[in-house]
Amino acid sequence: MRMLPLRATALAGVLLTCGLLIACAEPPDPPPLPEPSPPLRASPYPMASDVTYRSYCGSSPNCPAGSVPATLRRDFAVDQQWHCVATSNRNVGNPFGAALANEGPVQLIIGGNVSGNAQVRFAFPPTDNTLFAGTGYGGANINFTIEPSYGGPVLVRGRRVDGDSPVGFAEGRPLAELQLPPTSETPGAWRAFPTYLRLRDPGCYVLQIDGLDFSTRIMLPAAIAP
């Protein structure tokens, strides 16, 4: 029998040992999968702050140029210690439905008729098939109705009581405030200004409504609709 040289024998032993080790070794565990990232909240568009009457009523023949008088910009401060109790329904013959109101001629209807206290419910994040898609804000239907006794301009601003989430109005890019124009006709009929309340977070909100001779507030709890 032919003997292998010593060097060849040693090399064969090394190769055999390596082969056995490779054949018997367990395959390495796969690296762990990364944790799924939480869904991103769309960054909101900056609200439009250069608001005028025409920001609401556009090019309508009855929409005047200009903006509300500076005297309507009364102090608007909130206290985070306020209890979040929705403003109650006040039925004073509003032809558009039951509305929320404190003192003053402006009444608020939320998403149609309401009875008693009301809560704003809005979808968030906004879906692609809505007027709010891509803006980073949800929206809820609201309607500001004004009694026949008042024909002047109205300024509406909103703030969150229990946080610092922004409040806007209208569809598309939200308006930082709402300016409702005066009527060019002699007061004698109810006026209605349907629009949207734009929010990102549930919480307690307050709207301050200022006119030439009044200032009032409406408090609204808000929740994300299921």
Annotated domain spans of the chain: 54-64+83-224
**pLDDT surpassing 90 at residue 19:** no
Average pLDDT over residues 149-175: 95
Average pLDDT over residues 57-79: 93
Decide: 109 and 145 in contact? Cβ < 8 Å: yes
CATH topology of domain 54-64+83-224: Immunoglobulin-like (2.60.40)
CA 148 to chain centroid, in Å, comes to 31
The share of the chain scoring above pLDDT 90, in percent, equals: 51
Q: What is the pLDDT of residue 199?
A: 96
Strands 138-146 and 191-199: antiparallel
Place of tokens 């734009």: 198
Tokens, residue 83: 């209890």
**pLDDT surpassing 60 at residue 105:** yes
Q: What is the pLDDT of residue 174?
A: 95
Which residues is 195 bridged to in the sheet? 142
**pLDDT surpassing 70 at residue 94:** yes
Mean per-residue pLDDT of the chain: 82
**Helix and strand element counts for the chain (H, E):** 2, 9
Tokens, residue 33: 């999968």
**pLDDT surpassing 60 at residue 9:** no
**pLDDT surpassing 60 at residue 53:** yes
The answer, as to whether pTM is greater than 0.85, is no
Average pLDDT over residues 10-20: 45
Query: Between residues 72 and 99, which one has the greater pLDDT?
Result: 72
Which residues is 216 bridged to in the sheet? 209
